[in-house]
Amino acid sequence: MKIKYVFGLLIASAIVFSCGGGKKATEAASETKEVITKEDFSFNVEQFADIKVLRYQISGWENLTLKEQKLVYYLTEAGYSGRDIIWDQNYRHNLAIRKALENVYNAYEGDKSSNDWGNFETYLKRVWFANGIHHHYSNAKFVPDFSSEYLNELLTATNTKLEGEAFDVIFNDKDSKKVNQAKGTDNVLESAVNFYGPNVTNADVASFYGKMESPDPKKPLSYGLNSQLVKENGVLKERVYKSGGLYGTAIDEIVKWLELAQGVAENEAQGNALVLLIDYYKTGDLQTWDDYNVAWTAATEGNIDYINSFIEVYNDPLGYRGSYETIVQIKDFDMSEKMSVVSGNAQWFEDNSPLMEAHKKKNVVGVTYKVVNVAGEAGDASPSTPIGVNLPNANWIRAEVGSKSVSLGNIIYTYNNAGSSGRLKEFVNDDEEYRLEKEYGQLADKLHTALHEVIGHASGQLNPGVGETKETLKNYASTLEEGRADLVGLYYLYNPKLQELGLVDDWKSIGMAAYDGYIRNGLMTQLIRLNLGDDVEEAHMRNRQFVAAWAFEKGASDNVIEKITRDGKTYFNITNYEKLHDLFGELLRETQRIKSEGDYEAVQALVEDYGVKVDQELHKEILERNKQFTSAPYSGFVNPVIVPKMNDAGEIGSFTIEQPATFKEQMLKYSKNYNFLPEVN
């Protein structure tokens, strides 16, 4: 489970919280020509459309031994080797479209000063950033600002082939949403994501997996996690992601680098986990996946860790299939020690939560929390990255073994230092709200990430006999779970326990800043990401809106949150933080009840009534007020390039870190050097 954006600061200005021969990565890395040195390092790379591209530094790299640096390098190369998988998962024509557009971009020698060419370049950059032709956050298909005739001219001029449905879909209305979560639709049939064949329906999925029984019902396997479900001659079948199976050529490259990583593992537990991950990639066996997650969760020693495989299910409208994702992490020693206080008190937080007693865990086990610095990301984690991750996702493993929670420290640091405070001043209600955010907002966001990931996702339990959340709550499962974890964080952010634990010096100011930021974002500022008239569809945006809107409505009789209009502008002002704290506790209790009991009708009502529809007049106002700001509403990253230096014996003797000068430079190199899948899989 991941947290992608946090409430405290305004969007983007300072958000916290292949069948082809790819070249060897050692050769690829050495090809970098334009690099940014430490002396002239800048967080900002470029901006286009609604996107701002940033760069981050690998903090702590110089403190690693050569063996540890090799481990990081091998793990990042394993991650990049599977890059094309997320492109194909996102949409069946993505690879064909990307390769054609890139060929045009590299080969075209005509007029590059025209508006059409500028629009073509922007479209390609948007496709690069989203890993496909659908927006990475709204899921809506991009509408190009050039004509089909112009694209045909470019294709002809560069002798590039793109035809049929792969060409037409760029300009028509087909496959308009990557993930369609709308109520009353066949979510699988109406979603363009390539987890299912074009003719597979919601009913097909329910029927197919409804017949499957795990060998141990108390330890349900993650059926559907690593496969595509298709219908051939009317018969449903899975195409499993594995060596020799779907995506096998890329998976073989991943395995090659993971085997090198296993050879330089920091300790036996880490090495044993890598052996199981390699076996899982080779076999596609879901029992091996669970065995790996148990071993990986228990491997808590060492300075290096990683996330790798088919993991998060947000892109599946029914929550079965995992998107390819990798993050390689270096421990931040100082911050991890401070934040481990949260995980060390997990049982206290569980015992003192407002949940029904039957829904509380009597023994919260194995919750580890670390602040880490990212060394490389790929798949669904790049270019748009989470800022916090809590894994594994299987409820039974979390209950019996525990979980790992990480906060991506250098990513959060970059967000905090790459923007301005202009939007914040525009949308805060008064000087006091602005002061609280400036003084306490960053720490509040860090604590909310910790509480969300460590306590939130680890808290609560299902009632006996209730199925997995993806089965009971279906298309609302991810939204409900993220909202529930947010509420755990919110409930405890306004609590003197944080000061008692030595995490803050002024718990009340931290809580007030946190509550101001969450309401401001949930009811107003996140709307700058939507086009006027759109519903809220992304799971994290839905969860923030339903939490904020529910609290606003339920507190209306006591005017807990007042809506203020001043000079034609709307503001929200919290008048009673104590009562808002109680409301968050009430909603937390209810969201846990919904999850514990598998109450589909209740979650549908909660999300649809509070999380989906947007006040159109307010939305129009927010967009108008936002026009004055040039900073884009979404941010993502290029990765630093880890370059191995060979010694006289032909072995890696050292590494240097280089920074890409431009976004296009990195995207084109990735396409050239990690090209391991054919256009059609």
pTM above 0.85, yes or no: no
Query: Domains of the chain: which residue ranges?
Result: 2-15+299-626
Decide: 89 and 324 in contact? Cβ < 8 Å.
yes
pLDDT for 453 beyond 90: no
Residue the block writes with tokens 């141990």: 216
425-452 in b/e burial notation, b at 16+ Cβ within 10 A? Answer: ebbbbeeebbebbeebbbbbbbbbbbbb
SS3 assignment, position 395: helix
Decide: 521 and 7 in contact? Cβ < 8 Å.
yes
Q: For 503-508, what is the mean pLDDT?
A: 96
- Kindly report, residue by residue over 70-79, the tens digit of the pLDDT: 999 999 999 9
Phi, psi values for residue 345, rounded to 5°: -115, 25
pLDDT for 621 beyond 60: yes
Between helix 248-263 and helix 66-81 the angle, nearest 10°, is 170
Phi, psi values for residue 407, rounded to 5°: -115, 130
Between helix 663-673 and helix 94-107 the angle, nearest 10°, is 120
Give strand pairing partners of 406: 370, 389
- Kindly report, residue by residue over 416-432, the tens digit of the pLDDT: 788 667 889 999 999 99
Tell me the C-alpha distance between 278 and 272, whole Å: 10
642, containing H or E segment: strand 641-646
629-647 in b/e burial notation, b at 16+ Cβ within 10 A? Answer: bebbbbbbbbbbbbbbeee
* DSSP of 588-634: HHHHHHHHHHT-HHHHHHHHIIIII---HHHHHHHHHHHTT--S-SE
Answer positive or negative: Cα dihedral of 233, 239, 245, 247. positive
In the chain, the N- to C-terminal Cα span, in Å, equals 27
- Kindly report, residue by residue over 247-284, the tens digit of the pLDDT: 999 999 999 999 999 999 999 999 999 999 999 999 99
- Kindly report, residue by residue over 348-406, the tens digit of the pLDDT: 999 999 999 999 999 988 678 888 999 999 999 999 999 888 899 998 998 899 999 88
Phi, psi values for residue 523, rounded to 5°: -100, -20
Phi, psi values for residue 496, rounded to 5°: -65, -15
C-alpha closest to that of 80 among 271, 207, 253, 281: 253
Tell me the C-alpha distance between 532 and 619, whole Å: 7
Residue the block writes with tokens 């905090």: 416
The pLDDT of residue 464 is: 94
3-state secondary structure 19-44: CCCCCCHHHHHHCCCCECCCCCCCCE
Give strand pairing partners of 307: 327
* pLDDT, mean over the chain: 92
The pLDDT of residue 562 is: 97
The pLDDT of residue 41 is: 85
Structure tokens at 621: 């106002």
SS3 assignment, position 595: helix
Tell me the C-alpha distance between 587 and 591, whole Å: 6
- Kindly report, residue by residue over 534-559, the tens digit of the pLDDT: 999 889 999 999 999 999 999 999 99
Q: What percent of the chain has pLDDT over 70?
A: 94
Structure tokens at 230: 């298709």
Of 334-343, 434-443, 514-523, the range with the lowest mean pLDDT is 334-343
The pLDDT of residue 36 is: 54
The pLDDT of residue 519 is: 98
Tell me the C-alpha distance between 292 and 274, whole Å: 8
Residues composing the chain: 681
pLDDT for 18 beyond 70: no
Tell me the C-alpha distance between 364 and 345, whole Å: 10
Tell me the C-alpha distance between 314 and 626, whole Å: 28
C-alpha closest to that of 261 among 200, 302, 203, 224: 302
Strands 324-331 and 304-310: antiparallel
- Kindly report, residue by residue over 285-323, the tens digit of the pLDDT: 999 999 999 999 999 999 999 999 999 999 999 999 999
The pLDDT of residue 465 is: 93
The pLDDT of residue 334 is: 72
Tell me the C-alpha distance between 85 and 131, whole Å: 10
48, containing H or E segment: strand 44-48
Residue 666 CB contacts under 8 Å (≥ 6 apart), including other chains: 638, 639, 641, 660
- Kindly report, residue by residue over 175-220, the tens digit of the pLDDT: 999 999 998 999 999 999 999 999 999 999 999 999 999 999 999 9
Q: What is the DSSP letter of 527?
A: G
Tell me the C-alpha distance between 322 and 169, whole Å: 25
Decide: 676 and 87 in contact? Cβ < 8 Å.
no
pLDDT for 93 beyond 70: yes
Answer positive or negative: Cα dihedral of 485, 491, 494, 498. negative
The pLDDT of residue 37 is: 52
Structure tokens at 627: 């026009």
Q: For 618-634, what is the mean pLDDT?
A: 91
Structure tokens at 206: 């329910």
C-alpha closest to that of 134 among 159, 170, 182: 170
Structure tokens at 339: 């934040």
